Chains A and B, each alone.
Chain A
Amino acid sequence: MKQIALYGKGGIGKSTTAANLSAALAGEGLDILQIGCDPKHDSTRMLMHGSWIPTVLDLIRERGDANITADDVVFRGFRGVRCVEAGGPEPGIGCAGRGIIATFQLLERLDALKGDVIAYDVLGDVVCGGFAMPMREGYAQEVYLVTSGELMSIYAANNIAKAIARLSRRVRSKCRLGGVICNEKNLEGEDELVAEFARRINSSLIASIPRDRIVQLAELHRQTVIEYAPDSEQAAVYAQLGDDIYRNRKTSIPTPLEMDELESFALEFVQI
């Protein structure tokens, strides 16, 4: 079983990437579980053709955690991808991070964490220990950073690299950085910049996903690109990404940059 997590700045395209990745891998006949770890609970929506599945925390709130079965929280979407949304409290109250921890404990107890690949799609900012949960306890063993060439996006990716570096110092930690995915914003020299960033934090660029209108069109039709336009070039990119990640055996402990390093590095690329 391969367990991966996608982290990156909010709005950078983690959920789109994760859903297409899951759809592509399911097309290879693999059993995939995608877990959305964000109170916004929209990670698996395209796989579920636009329907909002009940979240684990909704069910806990309504029924208490003793009366929940795996079938209540796991929903089959496109190509049989099994979808789970952790959910969270109402905005502005409670503790979403603790909610992620409770979700993982429940999924563990229900024996729901299984399959050929588990993909954790996590909130953009690792704001507290709860959102680092997928990186802990041997859940996700490979983290993929999704970023564009914009400085703030790289900054967020660098922060997550810090979290991985911190966690990997723990004795039993299995969490490593799997690679960096460039979700392009169509900036000049963007791939080179992200590739260089990946190299400097002791990792590598796994894939560059071009910006394509087809992604928005698929979304408007409440589908992944893989389903909406299976023969498109974009679908081929996601299929290749799935293949590369599934075969990837190379992971690393990242060496995150200091803020001034990050800024001067970004400046170098702007000047080119």
Chain B
Amino acid sequence: MNSNPSPSNSSRFEGCTLTGALSVVTQVRDAVCVIHGPSGCAHHNFSLLHATLADSDGVGVPRLISTALTENHIIFGGEEVLEACIARALELSPPPASIFVLSTCVVETIGDDVGAVCAREWGVPVIPVQTAGFLGGVFQTGIVNALLAAASCADGAPGDAGGVNLVGEKNLEADVDENQAEVARLLGMLGLQVRLRFVRDVRTRDLARLAGAAVNVLREPALLPVGEALRQRFGTPYVDSFPVGLSGTLRFLEEVAGVCGVDGSAAVEHEAAIQEGVLARFADLAGSRVAFDRVHPMLDGDAAAIGVCSELAEALDLVVDPEGTRLPAPYPAPVGTAGIRRMLHRWRRLIRGRERAR
């Protein structure tokens, strides 16, 4: 039987498994996603992706089609209608370079053999992604399953070696591109380039370049199963998270440098100086009384985010006091020094706003 495989801070990720997987595979811009299930499963997700994408990057909405199962398909089995739907996807214009087939709860319940249908000779890669949430999965499971499925498009033998893959960026978060820029800046200080955003705004053929990186940088520790699978398959070492916090950002530089065998001491020194500069710009906050609030009563505190708050409170000489200005604990934790700077601007607005209100 399946147990809930989510990480300890899982309550952040307890959404629909299908949504998590779609947040990944819809970033393969020349692919079509077939959702094998009732039409509502596709519609719900289409609406969400449409809203999110319109908000952040304005790129055309992803191509999703549904097998639109009804009761009779459930009784007699949905494999034939899935075949017909894949064939229909191949007829679309422009033709897809790959097709991701995502399962839903009901087709896994009746035991449709999605893998066998995908394994037929279709002319382009047709890749099954297991996304039935009732099997113990949540939003995060969908992301992991989708990344592992997308990895099947990778060539075993890398054409060129070196560079860094970013693995599992949070495509639905507002700061996704700012966070990527920050990580790229830090990697640049070590003389490293981003090789592949796995998976964000790529084409199917780009996925072939997954192998051969000097290091895979995972977005967060919940992606460990992906980092581990890629390490076993391609021998690529991984760093388990984007940088979080002042000291965490310096540790990130050291860790990446260590894995890639470069000298990171100059970069660490330089970054520490940048952090000093940021703190100096917010020195006016010293002595302010603040209280850190949970984002939402349903969500447990994110340990990393709470850690960043405490670290900054100490560095800036803030006084933590239940009566102080309420500052929302960030979700997710800010990435790198730039993420901290943006967060401190928000804190300052809240603290000054409260003072003016008095």
Q: Are B71 and A94 in contact (CB under 8 A)?
A: no
A57 sits at the interface (CB 8 A): yes
A61: B residues at CB distance < 8 A: 72, 76
A267 sits at the interface (CB 8 A): no
Residue of A nearest to B75 (CB): A99
With A94-B110, A95-B109 known as contacts, the answer to whether A102 contacts B75 (CB < 8 A) is yes
Cα A88 to Cα B109 in complex, Å, equals: 17
User: Smallest CB–CB gap between A106 and chain B, Å?
Assistant: 11
Contact code string A160-193 (vs B, CB < 8 Å = 1, else 0)? 0000000000000000000000000000000000
Q: Which residue of A60, A65, A94 contacts B77 across the interface (Cβ within 8 Å)?
A: A94
Q: Which residue of A89, A90, A93, A102 contacts B71 across the interface (Cβ within 8 Å)?
A: A102
- How many of chain B's residues have a CB under 8 angstroms from any CB in A? 12
Cα A65 to Cα B70 in complex, Å, equals: 12
Q: Are B77 and A98 in contact (CB under 8 A)?
A: no
User: Smallest CB–CB gap between A133 and chain B, Å?
Assistant: 13
Of B79, B110, B111, which is in contact with the most chain A CB atoms at under 10 Å from its CB?
B110
Cα A215 to Cα B216 in complex, Å, equals: 72
CB-CB contacts below 8 Å: B223-250 with A: none
With A89-B77, A93-B77 known as contacts, the answer to whether A60 contacts B72 (CB < 8 A) is yes
B279 sits at the interface (CB 8 A): no
B75: A residues at CB distance < 8 A: 57, 60, 88-89, 94-96, 98-99, 102
User: Smallest CB–CB gap between A55 and chain B, Å?
Assistant: 12
With A95-B109, A95-B110 known as contacts, the answer to whether A90 contacts B77 (CB < 8 A) is yes
Contact code string A37-72 (vs B, CB < 8 Å = 1, else 0)? 000000000000000000001001100110000000
Number of chain A interface residues as a range: 10 to 19
B contacts with A: majority SS = helix
B90 sits at the interface (CB 8 A): no
Of B76, B78, B110, which is in contact with the most chain A CB atoms at under 10 Å from its CB?
B76
B202: A residues at CB distance < 8 A: none
B74 sits at the interface (CB 8 A): yes
Cα A67 to Cα B283 in complex, Å, equals: 78
User: Smallest CB–CB gap between A271 and chain B, Å?
Assistant: 39
Q: Which residue of B72, B79, B109 contacts A93 across the interface (Cβ within 8 Å)?
A: B79
B110: A residues at CB distance < 8 A: 94-95, 98
B109: A residues at CB distance < 8 A: 95
Residue of B nearest to A65 (CB): B72
User: Smallest CB–CB gap between B132 and chain A, Å?
Assistant: 15
User: Smallest CB–CB gap between A75 and chain B, Å?
Assistant: 21
User: Smallest CB–CB gap between B37 and chain A, Å?
Assistant: 14
Residue of B nearest to A89 (CB): B76
Residue of B nearest to A130 (CB): B75
Cα A93 to Cα B81 in complex, Å, equals: 13
User: Smallest CB–CB gap between A177 and chain B, Å?
Assistant: 29
CB-CB contacts below 8 Å: A79-115 with B: 88-90, 93-96, 98-99, 102
A99: B residues at CB distance < 8 A: 75-76
User: Smallest CB–CB gap between B92 and chain A, Å?
Assistant: 27
B111: A residues at CB distance < 8 A: 93
Residue of A nearest to B112 (CB): A93
B76: A residues at CB distance < 8 A: 57, 61, 89-90, 93-94, 99
Q: Are B74 and A95 in contact (CB under 8 A)?
A: yes
Of B72, B79, B112, which is in contact with the most chain A CB atoms at under 10 Å from its CB?
B72
Cα A61 to Cα B77 in complex, Å, equals: 11
A65: B residues at CB distance < 8 A: 72
Cα A94 to Cα B82 in complex, Å, equals: 13
CB-CB contacts below 8 Å: A3-60 with B: 57, 60
User: Smallest CB–CB gap between A97 and chain B, Å?
Assistant: 9
Residue of A nearest to B80 (CB): A93
The 7 closest A-B pairs by CB, nearest first: A93-B77, A94-B77, A95-B110, A99-B75, A89-B76, A94-B76, A98-B75
27 pairs from A and B in contact (CB 8 Å cutoff): A57-B75, A57-B76, A60-B75, A61-B76, A64-B72, A65-B72, A88-B75, A89-B76, A90-B76, A90-B77, A93-B76, A93-B77, A93-B79, A93-B112, A94-B74, A94-B75, A94-B76, A94-B77, A94-B110, A95-B109, A95-B110, A96-B75, A98-B71, A98-B74, A99-B75, A102-B71, A102-B75
Known: A61-B76, A89-B76, A95-B77. 5 other contacts (CB 8 A): A64-B72, A65-B72, A90-B76, A94-B74, A102-B75
